[in-house]
Structure 1
Amino acid sequence: MVRTAGLVLIASAALTACGQDTRYTNDSEGYMSEDMAMMEAPQAAPAPMRTRMDSVSGAGSNAPQTAPEDVSAPLLAYTYQTSLELPGDVLAATQGAHVAACQTAGPATCQVIRAQVNNADGPRPSAYLQLRASPDWIVEFRAGLEGETEELGGQVLSDQTSVEDLTTRIVDTAARVAAQTTLRDRLQELLETRDGDLSDLLAVERELANVQANLDAQASVLAALRQRVNTSMLTLNYQAERQVVEPETFNPIGRAFKEMGEVFANSVASLILFLAGALPWLVIAVPVISGVVIGFRRLLRRKKAAS
């Protein structure tokens, strides 16, 4: 039992150290933090014993395949960002045509990551489109983009290309996958050929499950890095061309003319209502006020006559 456990620990330590030795410390490119995240991938919980024994027997056929990396040329990931200014009435249709072109190429060639149109029927529409496609398709698409924009009466405002060298990351990740694969195979062979107590078998199975989980995580990272090299990302920003005088500038004046008639009608209606309410009081108040005025005048005449 001690011997079996010792073999497991020695194999794990040796192969894990081998995988970790391939780490790089190129801080200038800012990759160390991402490597640490990849190395700390969560470990899967052990499966029931019968399930694990069945999976061990077929583990070799389902293992990730890691082809040797071609480092004769840099492994580069390209990202493109283009901003277009178009007439507002054709902006949404142009973005839709670009989405259709990507979908027509098929998911193996081009994939729409995100597509969005804002304020399509308003005075200042805008749109956004993000694609991931094969480099050849991206090159062909971008080659005709400027001419298409000019034909629609617009222009290309900006065009930016970014390149990231993933050679070191891919090579190092592939080395870790290879080290984990070797460790997995040795543990599997140890489990199949060694006799021991049930506790020894469970210890080997747990270690094998942990190694397999790490192997799957590293293989996923490697596949994502390879996809970034095999495809390119294109981001398109669409904005409506600016007008010398925006339509909103004279909107208050237009609304004032439209509402002028309604305001006048409301004012006349208010006056009519006031007169309708005051008329009954005028019928009563006019005679009374007239009588008071006449009586006051007579009183003044009498005083003048008496004096």
Structure 2
Amino acid sequence: MLRETGLLLAAGLVLAGCGEEASRPVSGGVYEEYAMMEAEPAPAPPPPAARMQASNDAVSVSGSRVQNAEGAAEAAEGPLLAYTYQTSLELPADALGSTHEAHVQACQNAGPATCQVIRAQVSNADGPRPSAYLQLRAAPDWIVSFRAGLETEAEELGGQVLSDQTSVEDLTTRIVDTAARVQAQTTLRDRLQQLLETRDGDLSDLLAVERELANVQANLDAQASVLAALRQRVNTSMLTLNYQAERQVVEPQTFNPIGRAFKEMGDVFAESVASLILFLAGALPWLVIAVPVISGVIIGFRRLLRRRKAKT
């Protein structure tokens, strides 16, 4: 049993080396000793064609089947590419919202298997300068057909396509490598399960194999998820649409300051009159006292001047 265990663990570490990271070796001096004594030389890594062929198989992960890379034939015919499109549209303000809604509806009518709305947003819908945003993930054929009619649709509405960008990412290497890791982890998991089913050996040895099996299964689930995400990026394309309202030569908000000034003119005049009334109300008591005093001073000064003239 120990000899068989050592052989299986050594083979498992070699298979895991083809994957993302080698699984953690099972602890215990007996396992390590037999692994060093009995392990055969590690086989050479499979050629790219063999790795791609191995990735064509479907593997079982946590009870569900996950589709791997499509195999050597597809990879040999051409690279696995992920396309991303970005288009900016300038439309009349009164047509922007309805156009955005029509595009969302077109994606929904195609069905979730063909097109999915990732994000849809409309800003300042009732204002003079509305804007909108739409992000779709759809089948490449649907995306091509949809984009082909955008320019004509914009021109019919009195708008235009401001920009149209296409970016491509080659995912061939990542998909093939990830598929090989999934295959290696699957083989290692199956061998550990077979070893565990024999139920022969000490309890500590069986517990060590169970821990190793749990680590391998966790790595397998993670790699299968990454592979599924990469395959989705190849099988579908991402389209981002930005909508903005057409800028007018003279927009209504240009004369807003003048309109606000006329509207506030009455308030400013009333406040000024009120301030004057308050000032007069505060100064009136002082005027009652100051006027007689000032008048007396002026009369006395004039009399003094007359007397001096009379003496001279």
Which has the larger displacement, 228-237 or 184-193? 184-193
In the TM superposition, residue 42 of structure 1 has moved relative to its aligned partner by 10
* Inter-CA distance 82–63: structure 2 relative to 1 (3 Å threshold): closer
Measure, in 2, the Cα distance between the counterparts of 1:245 and 1:41: 67
1:66-92 C-alpha deviation (Å, 9 max, x unpaired): 475232343222111101111223323
Matches within 5 A, 1:103-252: 103-193=108-198, 195-252=200-257
Which letter maps to 1:14?
V
Measure, in 2, the Cα distance between the counterparts of 1:166 and 1:279: 90
In the TM superposition, residue 173 of structure 1 has moved relative to its aligned partner by 1.7
TM-score by length of 1: 0.79
Measure, in 2, the Cα distance between the counterparts of 1:60 and 1:93: 45
In the TM superposition, residue 41 of structure 1 has moved relative to its aligned partner by 11
Q: Is the 8 A contact 2:115 2:137 kept in 1?
A: yes
* Inter-CA distance 40–295: structure 2 relative to 1 (3 Å threshold): farther
Partner SS state of residue 243, structure 1? coil
Which letter maps to 2:88?
S
Count of equivalent residues: 274
Match of 1:256 among 257, 261, 277: 261
Partner SS state of residue 125, structure 2? coil
1:87-121 C-alpha deviation (Å, 9 max, x unpaired): 22332332232223222333222212122223333
Q: Which residue of 2 aligns with 1:97?
A: 102
Identity score, percent: 81
* Inter-CA distance 218–262: structure 2 relative to 1 (3 Å threshold): same
In the TM superposition, residue 269 of structure 1 has moved relative to its aligned partner by 2.1
Measure, in 1, the Cα distance between the counterparts of 2:14 and 2:218: 18
In the TM superposition, residue 125 of structure 1 has moved relative to its aligned partner by 2.6
Partner SS state of residue 133, structure 2? strand
Q: Is the 8 A contact 1:4 1:194 kept in 2?
A: no
Partner SS state of residue 156, structure 1? strand
For structure 2, the 5+ residue unaligned runs are: 25-59
Matched, 1:7 2:10: no
* Inter-CA distance 42–178: structure 2 relative to 1 (3 Å threshold): closer
For structure 1, the 5+ residue unaligned runs are: 21-38, 44-57
What is the Cα-based RMSD across aligned positions, in Å? 2.7
